[in-house]
Structure 1
Amino acid sequence: MQKEIFKKILEERFSCREFQEKLLSKEELDYILEAGRLSPSSLGLEPWRFIVIEDSKTKQEIAEIANSQKHVAKCGAIIIVAARLDFGEYFVKKLQSRNMSKEELQKRIELYKPFIESMNPTQKLHYAREQTFLALGNLANGATALNLGSCIIGGFNNEALDIYLKLDTSKEKTSIMLVVGHKKTDEIPQKIRFPKEEVIDFSKNL
Structure 2
Amino acid sequence: MTDQTQNTLESSKEAIKTQLLNAYKFRHAVKDFDPERKVTKGDFDFILEAGRLSPSSYGFEPWKFVVVQSPELRDKIAVHAGGARRQLASASHAILVLARLPHEMVADSEYISHMLSDVQRLPEEIAKMKRSTYDAFLRTGFALQDNERAMFEWACRQTYLALGNMMTAAAMLRIDSCPMEGFVKHEVERVLAEEGLMDDSRFGLACMAAFGYRAGDSPTPKTRQRTDEVVEWR
TM-score interval w.r.t. the shorter chain? 0.7 to 0.9
SS at structure 2 position matched to 1:189: coil
Question: Which structure has greater helix proportion?
Answer: 2
- Paired residue type of 2:54: S
Aligned to 1:11: 25
Pair 151,19 (structure 1): closer, same or farther in 2 beyond 3 Å: same
1:83/1:173 contact within 8 Å kept: yes
Is 1:187 the counterpart of 2:187 in the alignment? no
Aligned to 1:153: 180
Q: Aligned ranges for residues 126-205 of structure 1 at < 5 Å?
A: 126-166=153-193, 167-185=198-216, 187-202=218-233, 205=234
Aligned to 1:63: 78
- Paired residue type of 1:78: A
Structure index of larger Rg: 2
- Paired residue type of 1:158: K
Aligned to 2:34: 20
* Mean Cα deviation higher: 19-28 or 172-181: 19-28
SS at structure 2 position matched to 1:165: helix
SS at structure 1 position matched to 2:82: coil
2:63/2:98 contact within 8 Å kept: yes
Aligned to 1:113: 135
1:65/1:161 contact within 8 Å kept: yes
Gaps of at least 5 residues in structure 2 are 1-14, 140-144
2:185/2:205 contact within 8 Å kept: yes
2:94/2:211 contact within 8 Å kept: yes
Rounded to whole Å, the distance in 1 between the matches of 2:138 and 2:77 is: 33
Rounded to whole Å, the distance in 2 between the matches of 1:49 and 1:101 is: 26
Aligned length: 203
1:5 to partner: Cα distance:
1.8
1:9/1:141 contact within 8 Å kept: yes
Pair 114,20 (structure 1): closer, same or farther in 2 beyond 3 Å: same
Deviation string 1:157-176 (CA, Å, 9 cap, x unpaired) is 11000000003333100010
Aligned to 2:115: 94
1:106 to partner: Cα distance:
3.1
Rounded to whole Å, the distance in 1 between the matches of 2:116 and 2:138 is: 14
Pair 101,190 (structure 1): closer, same or farther in 2 beyond 3 Å: same
1:77/1:179 contact within 8 Å kept: yes
2:181/2:207 contact within 8 Å kept: yes
SS at structure 1 position matched to 2:214: coil
2:39/2:212 contact within 8 Å kept: yes
Rounded to whole Å, the distance in 2 between the matches of 1:114 and 1:93 is: 19
Give me the TM-score of the superposition, normalised by structure 2. Answer: 0.78
* Mean Cα deviation higher: 112-121 or 126-135: 112-121
